[in-house]
Amino acid sequence: MLDLTYEAPKPKIIAGAKHDWELVIGMEVHAQVSSNAKLFSGASTAFGAEPNSNVAFVDSAMPGMLPVINEYCVEQAVRTGLGLKADINLVSAFDRKNYFYPDLPQGYQISQLYHPIVGEGEVLVELGDGTARMVRIERIHMEQDAGKSIHDMDPHMSFVDLNRTGVCLMEIVSRPDIRGPEEAAAYIAKLRQIMRYLGTCDGNMQNGNLRADVNVSVCLPGQYEKYQDTQDFSHLGTRCEIKNMNSMRFIQQAIDYEAKRQIAILEAGGEIDQETRLYDPDKGETRSMRSKEEAHDYRYFPDPDLMPLEIEQAWVDDIAAKLPELPDDKKARFVRDFELSDYDASVLTAEVESAAFFEKAAEGRDGKLAANWVINELFGRLKKEDHDITESPVSPEQLGGIVDLITKGDISGKIAKDLFEIVYTEGGDPAEIVEKREMKQVTDTGAIESAVDEVIAANPAQVEKAKQNPKLAGWFVGQVMKATGGKANPKSVNEIVQAKLGL
């Protein structure tokens, strides 16, 4: 079973001019559902298509068009909820959120305000220092994405592309349980990891497929504990919402800036206005989106075009039964079955593809050794060329083959690195390459002994020095290794050198 014992991290303390402050953060993460077609139309969700080509009349809000729900999007939302150990609501409903913007042809976004499909859940967010935060999920609801406005193609006009209009988003709303910028980034990373394992969102932040609104407030030490005891928000400070962030780095910078801005206002005797703000990465600051405030009256009401969404418990159970192994479980299993360190298991399970690669390469072999080779050699080499694991020219079977040769003592660690390079650049079966290119380690002590004898005979001066200073024996080992093309077993060489020099 999953080991849930963990120590919670300390909240980030920010020193003000007068006293210390603590951060309180809640997040609304918008994750684009991986599906072929949109939430309510049959148009494609493919990224990068010609402008306005993935648009049905439902998406462009032509009069008389009616939305028909894509049941796979519903399934994906349920799957995500199950992955976050959340309650699934068998009855949910759609509401209209009304506002005007050129990239929203309907004049409203279909969302789920009153009856979301997923209720309360939780995510364990591990931090680098061995601590972990349990972040509560308040809800997940489905909604339509808006189109895309482009403001820099013309000095006087904004251009609108409706390809993204109507694509299904999941909005994942957390409780204010996040206590620092690093935790905020780790929380998004964990959600991304879980959704990539589930196959419900590709997590591509650059394309905007995963983005977050971050609610930030500050409070005096002690206040947050009062909130947690009572769940009464009045113990916390007034929050500001930083909209639409799609970079982990910028999220952290924006939180830092926003906290300091709020502290400066409060320490000067001012009050925080609850408002929506935008982060400007060039200037490194957040600024108010006042224009958005005025239109904040969304006049939600149930969408009369859509019946409530009723799903069957049996269907949910079926999705639950087919859930893949989740990151926390996989990591715990790697630690247990392959005796990996917590750190190595985290690295290997970060991406589902890496975990699958490792598992194949380690099957029936020394897990720790296989992990070292996957993490240090393969990941290192891939990173150098900016490739990810799916682009690896070395297969798990090939890497496993190299590990076998090391375990059998056929090749030394050093030769193994040369062999890895050959397999990486040229391909081929590792055992065959070792055989053909005569890379096998020399374990025959007779051969090593004669090589040592030769080196000793050729360097009488060094022999004298080594007898005075035994540390110089290493020089002989090096010479023998060189003479044998690195194929001698270094341990045997060392022993024989020591013996022959009489050290």
In the shown chain, the binding pattern of residues 93 to 112 toward another protein, with x for contact by CB under 8 A and - for none, equals -----x-xxx----------
- Give least dist CB 199 to another protein, A: 13
* Binding segment (CB under 8 A) for another protein, from list 303-311, 326-334, 394-402, 491-499: 303-311
Residue appearing with tokens 């909820």: 81
Cβ 149 to another protein shortest distance, Å:
7
CB of 318 to another protein, least distance (A): 16
Which residue carries 């309180």 as its tokens?
Answer: 24
Q: Name the helix (H) or strand (E) containing 25.
A: strand 20-32
Q: How far is the CB of 73 from another protein (least distance, A)?
A: 7
The tokens describing 356, both together, are 């699958």
Return the number of the residue (58 or 78) whose C-beta is nearest another protein. Answer: 58
Least Cβ distance, residue 347 to another protein (angstroms): 34
Give the tokens for residue 223: 């206040």
Task: Pick from 309, 370, 439, 496 the residue near another protein by CB under 8 A.
Answer: 309
- Cα 490 to Cα 503: distance, rounded to the nearest angstrom: 17
Please measure the distance between the N-terminal and C-terminal CA atoms of the chain and give it in whole angstroms. 53
The DSSP line for 269-318 is: T--PPP-EEEEETTTTEEEE-HHHHHT-----EE-TTS--EE--HHHHHH
Site string for another protein, 59-78 (x = CB under 8 A): -x-------xxxxxxx----
Q: Supply the Cα-derived Rg of the chain in whole angstroms.
A: 30
Query: Token match 């990810």: residue?
Result: 388
Q: Least distance to another protein from the beta carbon of 152, Å?
A: 9
Buried b (16+ CB within 10 A) or exposed e, 408-439: eebbbeebbeebbeebbeeeeebbebbeeeeb
- Site membership for another protein, residue 312 (CB under 8 A): no
341 alpha-carbon distance from chain centroid: 19
CB under 8 Å to 493, separation ≥6 — which residues?
448, 451, 452, 477, 480, 481
- Judged by CB under 8 A, the stretch of 11-19, 154-162, 258-266, 449-457 that binds another protein is 154-162
d(CA 423, CA 420): 5
- Residue 243 has φ and ψ, to the nearest 5°, of -85, 145
3-state secondary structure of 326: coil
* 51 contributes a contact to another protein by CB under 8 A: yes
Q: Between residues 35 and 247, which has the closer beta carbon with respect to another protein?
A: 35
Of 53 and 230, the one with the shorter C-beta distance to another protein is 53
Among 291, 313, 468, 469, which residue sits at the site for another protein (rule: CB under 8 A)? 291
Would you say 310 or 444 has its CB closer to another protein? 310
Q: Which of 32, 41, 80, 111 binds another protein (CB under 8 A)?
A: 41
Question: By CB under 8 A, is residue 113 in contact with another protein?
Answer: no
Name the token pair of 146.
């808006």
CB-wise, 13 or 307, nearer to another protein? Answer: 307
* Amino acid at the residue 293: E
- Binding region for another protein (CB under 8 A) out of 45-53, 325-333, 344-352, 444-452: 45-53
159 binds another protein (CB under 8 A): yes
Min dist. Cβ of residue 100 to another protein (A): 5
Q: Which of residues 421-460 bind another protein (CB under 8 A)?
A: none
Q: Is 36 in the site for another protein (CB under 8 A)?
A: yes
Is residue 42 part of the contact set for another protein (CB under 8 A)?
Answer: yes
Q: Which of 58, 88, 137, 406 is close enough to bind another protein by CB under 8 A?
A: 58
**Cβ–Cβ < 8 Å for 198, 80:** yes
Query: To the nearest whole angstrom, how small is the minimum distance from the Cβ of residue 50 to another protein?
Result: 6
CB of 312 within 8 A of CB of 90? yes
Query: Least separation, in Å, of the C-beta of 167 and another protein?
Result: 12
The C-alpha angle with vertex 141 and arms to 272 and 68, in degrees rounded to 5, equals 135
- Closest contact distance (angstroms) between CB of 140 and another protein is 19
Residues that bind another protein (CB under 8 A): 35-37, 41-44, 50-58, 60, 68-74, 98, 100-102, 149-151, 153-162, 278, 289, 291-292, 295, 297, 299, 306-310
